[in-house]
Amino acid sequence: MTEPAPGIELRLQLRRTNFALDVALSLPAQGVAVVFGPSGSGKSTLLRAIAGLEPAARGELRIGGETWQDAHVRLPPHRRRAGVVFQHAALLPHLSVHDNLRYGWRRAGAPTSVMQEWIDKLALGPLLARPPATLSGGERQRVALGRALVCQPRWLLLDEPLSALDAERRAEILPYLEAIRRETRIPLLYVTHAVEEATRLADHLVLLEAGRVRIAGPALEVLNRSDLPLALRDDAASVIEASVLGHDGHGLLRLDTPAGTLHAHGPAHPAGTRVRLRVQARDVSVALSAHADTSVLNIVPAVLQALSPLPNGQLQLQLQAGGLPLLARVSHQSALRLQLREGLAVWAQIKSVALLV
Ligand SMILES: Nc1ncnc2c1ncn2[C@@H]1O[C@H](COP(=O)(O)OP(=O)(O)OP(=O)(O)O)[C@@H](O)[C@H]1O
């Protein structure tokens, strides 16, 4: 039997005048670990400490059996084999895109095939002769990703790589990040405060608060926890893994989920494709019977597990639909009229299901 690849173990501390980082984490050897949290919670500091860029950081850091830091060892940043991409790509301005890629690749001593592989995967071919100053923000970030990846990093560390881009550019780059996630065995640490990116990319989610881990675990488990601040936000959502059953030819996919069959607009993925769905709490309402006279396509049986008041005066409902947690929002008046209470069997009417991957 082959041993599972050893994962990532870290315990890092750092003290500043008004801030202390004290983080202990075990992360899987593969997949995307998203570090999520409010501004000032220490996300970037943690990433920089991992990369060796915070000289005051103390502690231990082991990745796949390699020690980057402990009481006796402290590898300098260039020996950690961390590929780092920041919000603003710092490309070398006097070199073409190609030479920017080559620069890191040569220093890392990686095989030629790796250069070509990432040029193809990130569609960098048409950009190779261009100087960085002529690239759009999205193109620069793609080149920065390429430059990090051609060095064959042990760990790819991304610090808000999309936050300087507008929504359209972000939507262009996300599929490349998904391709990296799908096609490499390189683990990713992805720092963001954007829920959309966290729900779309995370396999593992770490929620930081004031320099400490509030919770860490498999993404769906953390995202669907109703007792975390995430659940109270305006854009609170449940995240569901599904598998494509078919397509109606008009842009509507049929999806198999633990809650039953759901429909979502999206590309005609072949049957069997695994996808991730996001259902916003504000798009879910409840009824006591399964209405047939409604335009809502997605109606699934559920059990009401808890009701809690929201700051905006509405009520948040926690539902279980075939083992799936779902959040719904209703007014106090509706709750009274329907006599909503814990344990009640209801029908969850889902107005919109967003396909994420
Ligand atoms: N170079 C620095 N010198 C002193 N304090 C710093 C420095 N960089 C960050 N800080 C402070 O350390 C704390 C954590 O900052 P950090 O940038 O890691 O947070 P963050 O979660 O990444 O925030 P954001 O989402 O706004 O980027 C904050 O209180 C910040 O003001």
Three-class SS of 79-117: HCCEEEECCCCCCCCCCCHHHHHHHHHHHHCCCHHHHHH
Count of beta carbons in the 10 Å neighbourhood of residue 23: 23
User: Which whole number is the average pLDDT over 4-25?
Assistant: 91
Q: How far apart are CA 344 and CA 340, in angstroms?
A: 7
User: Which whole number is the average pLDDT over 309-336?
Assistant: 90
Which protein residue has the closest C-alpha to ligand 1 atom 13?
40
Which protein residue has the closest C-alpha to ligand 1 atom 26?
39
Residue among 12, 21, 43, 214 whose CB has most ligand 1 atoms within 8 A, to mutate? 43
| Between residues 275 and 294, the one the model is more confident about | 275
Window from 43-47, 65-69, 352-356 with minimum mean pLDDT: 352-356
Give pLDDT, residue 215.
Answer: 93
Give pLDDT, residue 353.
Answer: 82
Model confidence at 225, pLDDT cuts 50, 70, 90, reads confident
| Between residues 43 and 232, the one the model is more confident about | 43
- Ligand 1 pocket, residue 320 CB under 6 Å: no
CA-CA-CA-CA torsion sign (37, 40, 45, 46): negative
SS3 294: coil
- Backbone conformation region of residue 260, classed left if phi is above 0, alpha if psi is from -120 to 50, else beta: left
Question: Max Cα separation, the chain?
Answer: 70
Q: What is the pLDDT of residues 165-218, one digit of tens each?
A: 888 888 888 889 988 888 888 999 999 988 888 888 899 999 999 999 999 999
Question: Which domains does the chain possess?
Answer: 8-232 (3.40.50.300), 237-355 (2.40.50.100)
Beta strands, E only, 164-292? 188-192, 204-209, 212-218, 237-247, 252-257, 260-265, 274-280, 284-287
Give pLDDT, residue 195.
Answer: 83
Give pLDDT, residue 3.
Answer: 54
| Between residues 226 and 159, the one the model is more confident about | 159
Distance 45 CA to ligand 1 centre (A): 6
- Check if the interface score ipTM surpasses 0.85: yes
Q: What is the pLDDT of residues 143-165, one digit of tens each?
A: 999 999 999 999 999 999 998 88
Residue pointed to by tokens 């593969």 = 30
Residue 26 has which token pair? 């075990």
**Strand-strand pairing, 82-85 and 155-159:** parallel
- Ligand 1 pocket, residue 163 CB under 6 Å: no
User: Which whole number is the average pLDDT over 238-253?
Assistant: 89
Distance 44 CA to ligand 1 centre (A): 7
Give pLDDT, residue 250.
Answer: 83
Predicted TM-score (pTM) above 0.90? no
| 265 Cβ contact list (under 8 Å, min separation 6) | 251, 252, 253, 355
User: Angle 112-121/137-149 helices, nearest 10 degrees?
Assistant: 150
Give pLDDT, residue 1.
Answer: 47
Q: How far apart are CA 193 and CA 236, in angstroms?
A: 14
Q: What is the pLDDT of residues 107-148, one digit of tens each?
A: 888 888 999 999 999 999 999 999 999 999 899 999 999 999
Q: How far apart are CA 191 and CA 173, in angstroms?
A: 16
Q: How far apart are CA 326 and CA 199, in angstroms?
A: 15
- Ligand 1 pocket, residue 19 CB under 6 Å: yes
Distance 199 CA to ligand 1 centre (A): 24
User: In the chain, what percentage of residues exceed pLDDT 90?
Assistant: 63
